[in-house]
Amino acid sequence: MRKLILPLVFLALISTFSLLTPSNTLATWTKSSSNPVISNSPSGWDSYHAADPTVIKDGDTYKIWYTGTDSSAWTNSYIGYAESSNGITWTKYINNPLSFGNNAEQPTVIKDGSVYKMWYNIRINNGQSFEIKYATSSDGTSWNIYPSSVIVPYANWNNKGVGAPSVIKLGNTYYMWFVGGSGSIWQTGFATSTDGINWDKNADPVLAYDPNYSWENGATSPMAIYDGGIYELWYTGEAGIGHAWSNDGINWFRDPENPVLDKGQNQDFDNHRVASNTVMRESGMDKTWYTGMLNSVSGKFQIGYAEKETEGVPITPLPPTPTPKPNKVIFIPGLGASWNRNDLLSCNLSQSNTWIMAPYTDIYDRIIQTLSQNAGLVLNEEFYVYAYDWRQTMETAGQKLKEFIDNIQPNGKVDIVSHSLGGLVARSYILQNGEDHNVDKLVTMGTPHQGTVLAYPLLVDKIAVNTLINFCRTRLGNPFETKRQVIQSLSPSIRDILPTFNFIKWNGQLMEDDLIEGENPWLRDNQFSLPFYDISVLTISGIEKKTLEYLEVKKPSAMDNLLGNWVDGKPTKKINSDLGDGTVLTSSSQLEDANSFTFNLNHIQLVQNTQSIQEILNFLGLEGVSVADEKRLPELTTQSLFSITSNKPGKFILKTLKREVLETDSSGIITYYSDKSGKFSLEFTPSEDGDYIISYNQLGKSEAWKEYKFTLQVNKVLKLIVNYNPKKASVNPLVRI
């Protein structure tokens, strides 16, 4: 069975279709002049058909999975993968088809946290019946297939087979719409699940065959989205693609303008039929990738693209029992936890593309999973993770946060949960907007409200910051740039976290604020105190961890004076206190008159600990929500790591010498935590031709930075051996093989 076509079965049925003349009133979709955007390959697995697209956007990258065949008879069917930066120009995966065998088709994919999840159908009984399967992946290309089918035929209306699934996840529940067939009639069914494997199936079809809709002759290939409290469904009928909407996903209203997407004309690639589409709603636009059929039953299938402005449903049915929704929740991570290869390695303060959560920030997974999955807040609809350019001043960061909040919640309120520097970003937004802010509740964890002494000598223990300094140190026009000069030029935010309290001792005496040149005017001039602009504020602090409180300094050398180093004295001694989380003093992370909790936790544990997360849930009014299970994270226990970056796009795969995959990444950096020496296999697949700089960065007991230059060809794999010794960094840590 097929979303677009039910192979063998549908091919027999299609000859009976009388294609209707498309109505001019339905031309709301604009088809791309570049169609088809995914064509048949000259030979191989998708040389005859490319069909049934499912598309997600992951960061700045569109990712598509689709069905391919090498013959018109659908004797073999495969699932392949491609990527695009704009949704129109696609690069097919070099190792297509994926490892699903030769009878897999009609995939639907979601990204659930860091895991890609796919449901698809297989043909059984020589293609006479169909069942739905399930698989998971960490990178979208290497899949682990669940051994059993998750939905099989179970009722008279689907006794011929079930397939063409479409899945969305809301809260902790998966919702699936799928097609089921009996005789010559194919209808749409519905099921729900809490794990994606065990499904509670609706006894009857939810979008059933109805002779009053003559253009349909059944409803196949469902594709669902959820937006603004309404479910919307696109589905394939005899004469095109239809549209419907629902309050509950079960009772559907058909669009009176159906079919909403028609076949093309003349020599268009889709002049015989359109079907089996996927829809993405993005920035006020509806984008669809669909299957087009050329000429006749024996014509080939290829994938096209169309778009239109997002419109409300023709009639908006009201839910029978409206339930007030909680505030949207935004999570803001700390310094260095966001990543943008192009901006960071530009060696200037350019802002070109969207920042993403850095691939090495698993420390935030538990709190993110708690707020999204366990609390039932739909990711990117009710719960958002705000990645940002942490290099910018707090003033600029606050302005950028305003743009983000105005976009997702222009009229209502949001709750903000923040860690470390993220709390200052939120504070900047609030102070800049005064009574016009949109914040209801604010949580800060380990936020340096009065600054941190660690900002002064710049103890670089952040992967992204260290990468920024070392990569750009020789690229600012002066090969003798100091770390201080680099960070002042490229991360002015560091100045905004300098302490506002007295922290420098000269000859054992504290220097007064007015004598310190390296001061922090932003924190000093932007106090945040009761009544907090009518915001409920909670601070969570750590204690009992050795934390830097004072610096003993001496007169800097003549060379330091010449270079502008240590304007307030060169540090000679660090004086620690147990009243802190190891990074921020307890007193600095608290706000007078705010709600507060203090735990015996370090700076990172604050976002990992069950008790601290539970207090956040209680503060947000989510008392009944359980905290996500704790996972073992090497970054919490290891003292050393290495990271490898590329200055141009491509994909990293880190493996053991026995070929076991350890890490994969396509964002430009790969990180591995370990206190043990070892050799590793590293593969890098470039996305374009050109000269690449691959940089090795080692942090911990022994630190190192080394750059390698390679001239690479697109999709031609660069293979390297990584020589890693955390106690004494290798002179040549990367060796080409």
Per-residue pLDDT tens digits for 386-403: 999 999 999 999 999 999
pLDDT (0 to 100) of residue 517: 53
Average pLDDT, the chain: 87
What pLDDT, in 10s, does the model give residues 190-227? Answer: 999 988 988 989 989 999 988 888 889 888 999 999 99
How far apart are alpha carbons 606 and 28 in whole angstroms? 50
Tokens of 699: 């942090």
Phi and psi dihedrals of 428, rounded to 5? -60, -45
Spatial distance between the Cα atoms of 439 and 416, rounded to a whole number of angstroms? 7
Summarize the chain as % helix, strand, coil (round to 5). Answer: 15, 40, 45
If you write DSSP's letter for every residue of 2-26 in order, what string do you get? -SS--TTHHHHHHTT--PPPPPGGG
Q: Please indicate whether the domains covering 9-309 and 328-636 agree at the CATH topology level.
A: no
Average pLDDT of the segment spanning 47-59: 96
Query: 9-309, what's its fold?
Result: Tachylectin-2; Chain A (2.115.10)
**Tokens of residue 57, six digits:** 């956007």
Q: Is the model's pLDDT at 109 over the cut of 60?
A: yes
CA distance linking residue 390 with residue 656, whole number of Å: 33
Residue 477's pLDDT is what?
A: 64
Which pLDDT tens digit goes with each residue over 265-324? Answer: 888 999 989 999 999 999 889 999 999 988 765 578 999 999 999 987 754 544 443 444
Q: What is the mean pLDDT of residues 601-617?
A: 93
- The pLDDT, as a whole number, for residue 22 is 30
- Tell me which of 63-72, 352-361, 385-394, 708-717 is least confident: 352-361
pLDDT at 312: 74
More confident residue, 633 or 164: 164
Measured distance CA(644)–CA(652) in Å, rounded: 9
Instruction: Give the model confidence (pLDDT) of 483-540 as tens digits.
Output: 777 877 888 898 898 888 888 887 777 776 544 555 678 988 898 988 888 898 999 9
pLDDT for 25: 33
Per-residue pLDDT for 24 more than 80?
Answer: no
Instruction: Say whether pLDDT at 456 is over 50.
Output: no
Residue 312 tokens read as 């409300």
What average pLDDT does this structure show over 79-88? 97
Mean pLDDT, residues 254-259 taken together: 90
CA-based R_g, the chain, Å: 28
Q: Which fold has domain 328-636?
A: Rossmann fold (3.40.50)
Name the pLDDT band for 94 (thresholds 50, 70, 90).
very high
CA 347, distance to chain mean position in Å, is: 25
Domain boundaries, given as residue ranges, for the chain: 9-309, 328-636, 641-736
Q: Give pLDDT, residue 296.
A: 62
Q: Does 465 score more than 90 pLDDT?
A: no
pLDDT of 184 strictly over 90: no
Angle (CA) 504 508 510, round 5°: 40
Q: State the pLDDT at residue 8.
A: 30
Q: What is the pLDDT of residue 7?
A: 38
The pLDDT of residue 2 is above 70: no
Q: What percent of the chain stands above pLDDT 70?
A: 89
Residue 325 pLDDT greater than 70, yes or no:
no
Tokens for 379, please give them. Answer: 């990711």
pLDDT per position as a tens digit, 662-714: 999 999 999 999 999 999 999 999 999 999 999 999 998 899 999 999 999 99
| Residue 63, CA distances (Å) to 55, 66, 213, 683 in order | 6, 10, 34, 21
Q: Global pTM?
A: 0.57
Q: Residue 17 has what pLDDT?
A: 25
pLDDT at 68: 96
Q: Which residues contact 261 (CB under 8 A, 6 or more apart)?
A: 26, 29, 234, 240, 241, 274, 277, 288, 290, 306
pLDDT at site 130? 93
For range 573-582, the mean pLDDT: 90
pLDDT for res 321: 39
Give the sheet arrangement for strand 143-145, strand by strand. 104-112, 115-124, 129-137, 143-145
**Per-residue pLDDT at 18 exceeds 70:** no
Dihedral of the alpha carbons of 635, 637, 641, 644, in degrees to the nearest 10: -20
Share of the chain above pLDDT 90, in %: 63
Query: What's the start-to-end Cα distance of the chain, in Å?
Result: 46
pLDDT winner (highest mean) among 116-125, 480-489, 522-531, 568-577: 116-125
